[in-house]
Homo-oligomer: A and B are copies of this chain.
Amino acid sequence: MTQLMNRCYRLRRRPAGTATAEDLEFVEEPVPDLRPGQALVRTLWLSLDPSNRIWMSDTHYHLPPVPIGGVMRGLGIGQVVQSWRDDLRADDLVSGYPGWQDYVIADAGDGAFTVVPPPAPEPLSALLGPLGHTGITAYLGMTDIGRPRPGETMVVSAAAGAVGSVAGQIGKALGARVVGIAGSQRKCQHVVADLGFDACVNHRDPAWREHLDELTPDGIDVDFENVGGSIMDHVLTRLTVGGRVVLCGLIADYNGYGAPPDGRGRLDIAKTLMVKRAVMQSFLVLDHMDRFPEATTYLGGLIAENKLRYDETVVDGLEHAAEALTGMFDGANTGKLLVRVAERMDVPGEVQA
C-alpha cells in the first residue's frame, strides 16, 4: 500500500501587518501510522475566518497562538476514514478543528471534533455557516446582548460578511430597522436587495459618515460590531441612551492597524458608554455549547421560513487557502468563505480496530 501523504500549511513566521501567503509554508508529509485510541480524519471543508489571522499572531485570543512550525489551525468538516477510537466510526462526519491539511490524526479526548448527527444538512457546508459557529455567533450576540425591540435601529458592520449577514437578518426577523455597513457598492446592493436590510452604506465612500447619520435620524440602538477601528468609532457617536454594542469582531485591528488612517483620534469608548448608560459586551461561541441546539433550531427555522439567506464564497483546493485568507481582509468575499478540500468519499463502515 502506498504511503498516504498529507498536504499541510505550517506557520513559517508571524505576519507583520496583513497576513500573506509567504507567512505560511505549504508542505507534503507522510501521514503517520494510526495508534490505538486514534482516528484518521480527512478534511472535506475548511472555514476561513478572521480568527485565522489572530491565531497566526503571538496573542492568546480565545485559543493559544499557533506555534511557529505548527500546522495552521482552522475550523472545518471532516470525514473519519479510519478509526481506532470507541467514539468515532469510519465514515462518520465530524466538525471541529481539522487544521489546514488533508488529513488529521484525532486522539481520543482531545476535543478537536464532534460527530455530526445524521442526517447531515444539505449542503454540508451549512455546518460552517448559518448552522455552525458563524450563525450561532450571530444568534447569541443578537439574543443575549443586542436584543433589538421592534422599531429600534440596528447597525451591522461587515454586513455582507458571514456573521454580519446573519445578524442583520435576525434583526429584521425581530422587527428592527437594520442598516448595514459594507466595503463596496456591490455588497451594499446585495445586503439590501437580497438579504432584506433596510439600507446599507459603503464605508469606502468618503461621505459614508454623513450617509449613516441621515439613515439613523433617531440614533443607533444596537451596534453589531464586526469591524472596530474608526468605523466603530463613528457608529458609537450615534448610540442612543441604553444602547447595546455587541462586540463580535474587530477585524480592522487584527492586522495590527493602529490609529485610523485618516488622522482622526480614537473615540473615548468608556466616556461614550458612560454618557449613554450603554453596554459593550464580547462573547465567545465556544463558551455556550449548551445552547447550540436552541440556536440551530432557531436558525433552521428562519431558513425554512425563507427569512435567512446565506451566501458562500467557495475556493476549490487546499492549495488556494492562503491566498483566499489574504483576500478576506481585502473584503473579496461575500458571505462565508470556504475552502473545498475534498469530496466525501465512500468509506467502508465498521472498519474498527
Interface on A for B, CB 8 Å cutoff? 59-62, 225, 228, 232, 242, 247, 249-250, 253, 266, 268-271, 273-284, 287
Contact = CB atoms under 8 A, between A and B. Distances in A.
A225 B269 CA distance: 14
A276 to B, nearest CB: 7
Nearest to A59: B275
Nearest to A274: B282
A266 B269 CA distance: 11
B280 A279 contact: yes
A277 B273 contact: no
Closest 9 CB pairs of A and B: A279-B281, A277-B282, A269-B269, A274-B282, A277-B284, A273-B282, A280-B280, A277-B283, A247-B274
Main secondary structure of the interface of A (DSSP, over half): mixed
Query: Taking the full assembly, how many copies of this chain does it contain?
Result: 2
B253 A273 contact: no
12 contacts: A62-B275, A228-B271, A242-B287, A249-B274, A250-B271, A266-B268, A269-B269, A276-B282, A277-B284, A278-B281, A278-B282, A281-B281
Contacts of A280: 269-270, 273, 279-281
A269 B232 CA distance: 12
Contacts of A232: 270
Given A273-B282, A277-B282, A268 B253 contact: yes
B282 A61 contact: no
A247 B271 CA distance: 9
Contacts of A228: 270-271
A282 B283 CA distance: 18
Nearest to A244: B281
A274 to B, nearest CB: 5
A171 B232 CA distance: 34
B279 A279 contact: yes
A282 B273 CA distance: 6
A253 B271 contact: yes
